[in-house]
Amino acid sequence: MRKKIVAGNWKMNKTIAEGLQLVDEILAGSNDDSVLKIIAPPFIHLAAVADKLKSKEGFEVAAQNCHQAAGGAFTGEVSAEMIASTGTNYVIIGHSERRTYFGETNQLLAQKVAMALANNLIPIFCLGESMEDRNANVHLETVKQQLKEGLFSLLPADFSKVIIAYEPVWAIGTGVTATTHQAQGMHNFIRSEINKKYGKDISENTIILYGGSCNAENAKELFACLDVDGGLVGGASLKANEFLAIVNSF
Ligand code: PGA
């Protein structure tokens, strides 16, 4: 049985006071321990949020990125080891905003994944096609390449720790969600590629989240798809009631 997960990616939103208040509101309204709730605040809030959620059943914390190097002269960057030292256990890697605005390539992301795993962080690896890819009917090819170059160099034991988030770029922050047909189709494709590379056991146990304008209205039908194990949520994770409504959508 794969774990059900809803992860809230706050992106570059919330002051520390606002963030801690949001966490308090989520904690107060949360009543379902069968769903793992992952909160991904900005780096600067990680220690405080991790501290607050430390002994809370069903909650984890994620960073939104990490650097590929172990440490050193990289002004302004944050290492996987530093993230782990805050009590954070997860890290989002390869979000489309990182790929688009910060030029992160599959090759670079493979290094980040390796560094995260070396520091016992669980990577939430994001992938997904652009609208141009989908219109040109090369979306499967794009995602296959992202999987191959970003993750498929991992040994099976390491790959089996990774969570995947399918986030079609055209659905992120646009209000346009993938249809259940599109989401299930791609999740199933991803699982079949994992099956080819790592075998049935690992493919059936890999958690694959959907992201892209996921909200309280559409989460239920998306989460009902056979190969959709939950969501990576941006905008709708910034309000406790919306986030919790998504959590309650399984
Ligand atoms: P969105 O963002 O829910 O605001 O579309 C999702 C994401 O970027 O992870």
* Single-letter amino acid code for the residue at 153: S
Q: 10 Å Cβ neighbour count for 170?
A: 20
pLDDT in tens, 144-180: 999 999 999 999 999 999 999 999 999 999 999 999 9
Biggest CA pair distance of the chain: 48
Average pLDDT over residues 77-94: 98
Q: Does the annotation count 95 as an active-site position?
A: yes
Cα distances from 191 to residues 164, 201, 236, 243, in angstroms, run: 10, 11, 27, 27
> Which residue, by CA, sits nearest to atom 2 of ligand 1?
234
Catalytic residue among 97, 104, 167, 193: 167
Q: How far is the CA of 216 from the centre of ligand 1 (A)?
A: 13
pLDDT value, residue 55: 86
Mean pLDDT of the chain: 97
pLDDT value, residue 31: 86
At residue 98, what are phi and psi to the nearest 5 degrees?
A: -70, -40
pLDDT in tens, 181-229: 999 999 999 999 999 999 999 999 999 999 999 999 999 999 999 999 9
Residue 48: exposed, middle, or buried by beta-carbon count in 10 A (0-12, 13-18, 19+)? middle
* Residue 40 host element (H or E): strand 35-40
pLDDT value, residue 213: 96
Q: In terms of residue numbers, what domain contains 175?
A: 4-247
Domain of residue 108, CATH code: 3.20.20.70
Total structural domains within the chain: 1
Q: What is the DSSP letter of 42?
A: -
Cβ of 235 closer than 6 Å to ligand 1, yes or no, is yes
Catalytic residue among 45, 95, 139, 187: 95
> Which residue, by CA, sits nearest to atom 6 of ligand 1?
234
Asked if 30 and 240 count as a contact pair (C-beta separation under 8 A), the reply is no
Cβ of 218 closer than 6 Å to ligand 1, yes or no, is no
pLDDT value, residue 32: 74
Closest CA to 126 of 171, 93, 169, 174: 93
pLDDT value, residue 33: 80
pLDDT value, residue 29: 96
> Which residue, by CA, sits nearest to atom 1 of ligand 1?
234
pLDDT above 90: residue 1: no
Q: What is the DSSP letter of 232?
A: E
C-alpha of 175 from chain center: 18
pLDDT in tens, 18-70: 999 999 999 999 987 899 999 999 999 999 999 999 989 999 999 999 999 99
Cα distances from 134 to residues 130, 131, 168, in angstroms, run: 6, 5, 9
60 three-class SS: strand
- 3-state SS string for 65-129: CCCCCCCCCCCCCCCHHHHHHCCCCEEEECCHHHHHHCCCCHHHHHHHHHHHHHCCCEEEEEECC
**Atom of ligand 1 at shortest distance to CA of 236?**
3
pLDDT value, residue 141: 98
